[in-house]
Amino acid sequence: MAEPNYMADIVGVFGFPVAENPTGVMQNAAFQALGLNWLYLNFEVTAEHLAAAVQGMRALNNFRGVNLTIPHKALSSPVWTKSRPVRR
């Protein structure tokens, strides 16, 4: 029997506003169907806090990545200077 794992891997979206973004419904259904202990969340991040949010995301070992809403996509290139290898 496999050991229980109580720590989910986290993915999500950074944007403002994101309260009405339905992407998590689809993503979480897919994770569940695949038997993955992953969770997709909406993170409300204003443009002026994007760099700090990315820095915080990098500090979390179980944070796997984010999508960005517009205008965050256009503002994001300076904050993506370092990446982590993908865990398979």
User: Which residues, in sequence order, are CB contacts of 84 under 8 Å at separation 6+?
Assistant: 58
Would you please indicate which residues are annotated as catalytic (active-site) residues?
A: 73
